[in-house]
Amino acid sequence: MLRIFSRIPLFKAVIIFLLVALLTPVLLVLVLRFADPATWMWQLQREMSPPAGYPQTSKHQWVPLEKISPRMQLAVIASEDQKFPEHWGFDLESISKALQQNEQGSRIRGASTLTQQTAKNLFLWPAKSYFRKGVEAGFTLLIETFWDKPRILEVYLNIAEFGPGVYGVEAASQKFFGKPASKLSSSEAARLATVLPNPYRMSAARPSNYVWQRSSWIQRQMRMLGRDYWLDYKS
């Protein structure tokens, strides 16, 4: 490979490199529009550098969106991204609030959309930097361009970590509630959505007072949005 590039003028080599760098993310996103990922960056990082409490064997089982309870689908939208059906990957209002609160030394929940979180979990590393956020923004735009919203939600729910080494809503539902994801109740779905920001400090199986309070808030948001809010969009 080095010999090949040594015979190519520098300008052409730079152009080829840039084309490869630009086209590779596009191809990855296009392939994953139709193919379910066998693994993803968030899982790989956990496996290579396991945090405290990470099990020796992780759990994961992919299920299509139609086999995930509509209550669970609505719960993560109500909790994480209520404008999910409307935006093109970014919630500018939440980003603005997050920047304002960062300046005040505090943090805000919910600045990242479900699309951004999907991009991060699939392709990126957890370090906080402007460069990483820029790469995340690029993948977010590609995902919104080439995928539809149901596919974004399907991938998100299948790769999110709901507990140490518990990936995807099917594995989480089986482990914590002993039932398939298609049978989750509103309360169970809200508890799973609650722990998503930090499944190492919060547990759906052994809820703290905060988890109960937060899950109650999520259920109120679900009722406010309406049972058919997401179902109407999908149809």
CATH classification at residue 179: 1.10.3810.10
- List pLDDT tens digits, range 96-155: 776 666 666 655 454 789 999 999 999 998 777 888 889 999 999 999 999 999 999 999
Does residue 9 sit within a domain? no
Question: Rounded to an integer, what distance in angstroms lies between the CA atom of residue 151 and that of residue 154?
Answer: 5
Residue 59 has pLDDT above 60, yes or no: yes
Question: Rounded to an integer, what distance in angstroms lies between the CA atom of residue 161 and that of residue 205?
Answer: 14
- Pair 202, 208: CB distance under 8 Å: yes
- Pair 178, 70: CB distance under 8 Å: no
Predicted local confidence at residue 22, as pLDDT: 72
Measured CA distances, 110 to 31, 69, 155 (Å)? 28, 22, 19
Question: Rounded to an integer, what distance in angstroms lies between the CA atom of residue 209 and that of residue 63?
Answer: 31
Does residue 110 sit within a domain? yes
Does residue 113 sit within a domain? yes
Q: Which domain holds residue 95?
A: 14-45+64-234
Predicted local confidence at residue 132, as pLDDT: 87
Predicted local confidence at residue 5, as pLDDT: 46
Of 5-14, 38-47, 175-184, 190-199, the least confident: 5-14
Does residue 6 sit within a domain? no
Does residue 34 sit within a domain? yes
Count structural domains, the chain: 1
Does residue 8 sit within a domain? no
Does residue 55 sit within a domain? no
- List pLDDT tens digits, range 74-93: 999 999 999 999 999 988 87
Predicted local confidence at residue 110, as pLDDT: 47
37: Cβ contacts below 8 Å, ≥ 6 apart:
122, 155, 159
Rg of the chain (C-alpha set): 19
- Pair 162, 169: CB distance under 8 Å: yes
Q: What is the mean pLDDT of the chain?
A: 88
Does residue 100 sit within a domain? yes
